[in-house]
């Protein structure tokens, strides 16, 4: 199997920085389609879109295909190597030709990213289960703060990762994973959410769609 340069970059960064990458392979097509579902609604209004953790652009490519005139996309990536790869992809790949002038790649951290109530759609690929619950709370506070009332936040997690890992990890990691599960569960309940299981991904993933209440 011949790997593209972008895939080689992903694999190298996954080995080097698995804590922040959180995956062995880029997101698959069906996961990307579900994550970007809100952008595929017919006759929708233009949106200011934020993608957090685009990696090498597997989901970004689908976002670009679903963008309309008047949309803007900010792709926020904390990993410098991924940010460079993303900038080259947007500048040169044909899938971005129709909307590349509406897309900017930003190297930065969601916790310190400036702005408030600006985005109508946020798509997030951060591996929350790799972090401690305090940091996850700060990340969700930032994400919710950047979202407009009535805006939607979509993110994913690998199916049953907590259940499968719990028997094989120490007590400290077990408590951390359970704490993250409680926290994200409370956030989904408070905001209102729907969830879909994507089996046609490696590994299978749960996509959560959250809605920020009006007012």
- What is the pTM (predicted TM-score) of this model? 0.86
Q: SS3 for 99?
A: coil
Mean model confidence pLDDT for the chain:
88
> Mapping DSSP to helix (H, G, I), strand (E, B) and coil, where does residue 82 land?
helix
Q: How many CB atoms lie within 10 A of CB 164?
A: 11
Contacts of 127 (CB under 8 A, 6+ apart): 19, 20, 21, 22, 23, 53
Q: Output the six-digit token pair for 122.
A: 């946020």
Work out whether the CA dihedral 98, 37, 86, 25 comes out positive or negative.
Answer: negative
Of the chain, the percentage scoring pLDDT greater than 70 comes to 83
Q: Which residues pair with 210 in a beta bridge?
A: 153, 193
Least confident of 44-58, 131-145, 159-173: 159-173
The CA-atom distances, in angstroms, between 93 and each of 9, 64, 89, 90, 189 are 16, 11, 5, 6, 39
Count other Cβ atoms within 10 Å, centred on residue 195: 12
Of 1 and 30, the structure prediction assigns the larger pLDDT to 30
Domains located in the chain, CATH noted = 5-211 (3.40.50.150)
Q: What is the pLDDT, as a whole number, of residue 25? A: 56
Q: What is the pLDDT of residue 1?
A: 40
Each residue's pLDDT tens digit, 138-162: 999 999 999 999 999 999 998 876 5
Return d(Cα 33, Cα 15) in angstroms, integer: 26
The total number of residues shown for the chain amounts to 215
What is the DSSP-derived secondary structure letter of residue 125? -
Residue 192 has pLDDT above 80, yes or no: yes
* pLDDT > 90 in the chain, percent: 75
pLDDT of residue 172: 82
pLDDT at 175: 87
Q: Which has the closest alpha carbon to 59: 37, 92, 41, 80?
A: 37
pLDDT band at 164 (very low <50, low <70, confident <90, very high): low
């Amino acid at each position: 199997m011949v790997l593209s340069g972008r895939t080689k970059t992903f694999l190298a960064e996954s080995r080097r920085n698995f804590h922040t990458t959180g995956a062995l392979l880029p997101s698959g097509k069906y996961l990307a389609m579900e994550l970007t579902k809100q952008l595929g609604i017919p006759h929708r209004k233009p949106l200011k879109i934020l993608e957090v953790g685009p990696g090498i652009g597997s989901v970004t490519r689908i976002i670009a295909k679903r963008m309309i005139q008047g949309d803007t996309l900010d792709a926020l990536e904390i990993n410098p190597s991924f940010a460079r790869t993303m900038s080259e992809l947007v500048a040169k790949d044909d899938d971005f030709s129709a909307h590349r002038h509406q897309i900017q790649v930003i190297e930065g951290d969601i916790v310190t990213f400036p702005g408030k109530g600006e985005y109508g759609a946020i798509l997030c690929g951060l591996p929350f289960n790799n972090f401690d619950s305090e940091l996850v709370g700060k990340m969700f506070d930032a994400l919710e703060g950047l979202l407009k009332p009535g805006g939607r936040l979509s993110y994913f997690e690998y199916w049953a990762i907590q259940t499968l890992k719990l028997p094989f990890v120490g007590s400290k990691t077990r408590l951390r994973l359970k704490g993250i599960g409680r926290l994200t569960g409370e956030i989904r309940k408070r905001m209102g959410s729907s969830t879909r299981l994507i089996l046609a991904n490696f590994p299978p993933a749960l996509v959560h769609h959250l809605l920020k209440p009006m007012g």
